[in-house]
Structure 1
Amino acid sequence: MAKPKISKRRFIHTLVSYFFLTLLAIITIVPFLWTLSTSLKGQNETIFSMPPKLIPENFTFENYLTVWNSLPIPLYLWNSIVLAFFGVLLPLIFCSLAAFPLARMRFKGRNFIFLIIIATMMIPGEVTMIPVYLILNKLNLIGSFAGVIIPGAVSAFGIFLMRQAFLGIPKEIEESAIMDGASVWRIWMSVLMPMVLPMMATLGILSFIGSWNNFLWPYLVLENDKLYPLTIGLYKLKGTFVTNTRLVAAGTMVALIPILAVFVFFQRYFIQGAYSSAVKG
């Protein structure tokens, strides 16, 4: 059986698409490669050369050792892990709980409530930063991990993602569970949640990246150096890394490794969740 011929117009469209996607990938990955290369260069090698030299002449891990010995990296890493753990766990729970009735239950004003939630996405975080800070101050949460974690425990974007995932589940599955005597809580936890794992992975990755890279809010709330996450710890160097770009690059790579590991581990679920959110209404 003869293979169908690809039209010339479609071939050119595919070729142009791949060209721009490749160009975009190169633009995205070059800064990462430059940072990695800079972190592995010795003190006598040129950093800001034109064209950039991405392959160091003499590989060295001295910059990483200097960063490790100059800062309490294990402490900063542990603080970042704690903040990221709750920064992922709480949004998964609360966003799912908020999205469940908006997607699966019928009640008056459901669409209006959802529109109000979505509308809050247009409000910049800087606008609500001062009121939230004052509220946390009244609750005596300033200077604690709770003051960093609680404001990010739920988000309108997370509710939107989980609602889209719940809407894609056939109604017959829920009706069968009701006929078997399952409660609403049981349906949410044991029936629907296992079916939206790709979207949960997507929300988890995005929440992890946002929590791990969060800088401004922890910088405002945390007052004790021993509670600083890695992002603030690398910033609070008091001149150690200011003039040494190699050390800055090494510290950046240390902070980037957990994000890369999480993304690679959950990449399959992330792609499934992104695809399902694009095709479901």
Structure 2
Amino acid sequence: MSAKSASNRSVGSGTNDRLLQWLAGIVLTLFGLMMLLPFIWMVLSTFKSESEVLSIPPTLWPNAFTLANVKKLFISMNFGVYLGNTLSIVVFSFVGMFLNAMAGFGFAKYHFKGSKALFYIVLATMMIPGQVTMIPVYLILNAMHLTNTMIGIVLPGLVGAFGIFLFRQFMVTIPDELLEAGRMEGAGEFRTFLQIVLPISKPILSVQGILTFIAGWNSFLWPLIIANDEKLYTLSVGLSLLKSQSNQNFALQMAGATLMVAPIIIIFIIFQRHIIENYSTSGMK
């Protein structure tokens, strides 16, 4: 009887656990939908007329899809210029990511006099807020006549301590024997870095690539400070101007916000597998 009662208790316990799992899943799904609802409404409002956006009660699905808001962004609001500037910053940011990878490889695999002290100095710069260095950097670029130029916008953010740190920590785990084998085959240091180190570093490259894209895509404060010409503004700055210039046109603002957010979500969806692989690899180590 005791064995039978224990068996009944285990069956009942398993049923209760499954019931709690289903209940938790339903609650989390409802909360997830509630959090996604404003974002979905913003995206769908891009394709609504202004009168429909302001209608009470609000509608989720557009009664009639229209691209008028998107066309107005690129024709009347110079968002084509802002988009081009933002993409230029993103491209230069990826060049900077490659330089960060090279620096991280150097700190990880080359031991020279003062290398540790230099690496600690690089790490120490992470503790300095970016707002503190903006004025000195602006004065330096102004003395070099690089203000109000694209070079002045991208140059200060070309390399960063955080990126160097991430690459260094990952590349330390690469076996030295693998690099020595490449050198014995006649590969130079740069070729070893390109053909051996970078393919192995694919997980951290994916993670850092997403962070680099987001930072470049969302560039706002520094372009606003360094650029006086509207032709050098980025999408973030343009979206801020759009809010002040058309504070009553909410459909147009929803279109601008969607243009800012959608590429980041698409990039994350594409590369999320590599992020999970990177975390899994780090956990196994």
Counterpart contact for 1:199–1:274, Cα < 8 Å: no
Deviation at 1:168, TM superposition (A): 2.6
Deviation at 1:12, TM superposition (A): 8.9
Deviation at 1:19, TM superposition (A): 7.1
- In the alignment, structure 1 residue 34 sits paired with structure 2 residue 13: no
- Equivalent of 2:123, from 108, 114, 118? 118
Aligned to 1:161: 166
Distance in 2 of aligned mates of 1:109 and 1:71: 52
Q: Deviations over 1:55-82 (max 9, x none)?
A: 3444433322332332222222212111
Aligned to 2:253: 248
Alignment CA distance shift 1:245-1:262 (3 Å)? same
Distance in 1 of aligned mates of 2:158 and 2:24: 39
Deviation at 1:15, TM superposition (A): 6.9
Alignment CA distance shift 1:279-1:21 (3 Å)? farther
Alignment CA distance shift 1:215-1:12 (3 Å)? farther
- Equivalent of 2:226, from 214, 221, 246? 221
Aligned to 1:272: 277
Deviation at 1:13, TM superposition (A): 9.4
Deviation at 1:85, TM superposition (A): 0.7
Counterpart contact for 2:73–2:252, Cα < 8 Å: yes
Distance in 2 of aligned mates of 1:26 and 1:123: 39
Aligned to 1:187: 192
The one-letter code of the counterpart of 2:111 is R
- Equivalent of 2:134, from 107, 125, 129? 129
Counterpart contact for 2:152–2:226, Cα < 8 Å: yes
Counterpart contact for 1:64–1:247, Cα < 8 Å: yes
- In the alignment, structure 1 residue 74 sits paired with structure 2 residue 80: yes
Aligned to 1:61: 67
Aligned to 1:233: 238
How many residues are paired up? 273
Alignment CA distance shift 1:12-1:212 (3 Å)? same
Distance in 2 of aligned mates of 1:13 and 1:165: 40
- Equivalent of 2:95, from 89, 109, 121? 89
Aligned to 1:178: 183
Q: Deviations over 1:23-66 (max 9, x none)?
A: 7754653332131133233233355978x753344443332233
Counterpart contact for 2:53–2:251, Cα < 8 Å: no
Counterpart contact for 2:242–2:253, Cα < 8 Å: no
Q: TM-score when scaled to structure 1?
A: 0.82
Q: Which has the larger radius of gyration?
A: 2
Instruction: Give % identity.
Output: 37
Deviation at 1:181, TM superposition (A): 3.6
CA RMSD of aligned residues (A): 3.1
Alignment CA distance shift 1:107-1:224 (3 Å)? same
Q: Which SS does the other structure have where 2:51 is aligned?
A: coil
- In the alignment, structure 1 residue 204 sits paired with structure 2 residue 209: yes
Q: Which SS does the other structure have where 2:156 is aligned?
A: helix
Q: Which SS does the other structure have where 1:41 is aligned?
A: coil
Deviation at 1:102, TM superposition (A): 1.7
Aligned to 2:52: 45
Distance in 1 of aligned mates of 2:274 and 2:120: 28
The one-letter code of the counterpart of 1:43 is E
Alignment CA distance shift 1:103-1:252 (3 Å)? same
Distance in 1 of aligned mates of 2:28 and 2:123: 31
Q: TM-score when scaled to structure 2?
A: 0.81
Alignment CA distance shift 1:181-1:67 (3 Å)? closer
State how 1:102-113 maps to structure 2 within 5 Å.
Answer: 102-113=107-118
Deviation at 1:87, TM superposition (A): 1.4
Q: Which SS does the other structure have where 2:214 is aligned?
A: helix
Alignment CA distance shift 1:254-1:173 (3 Å)? same
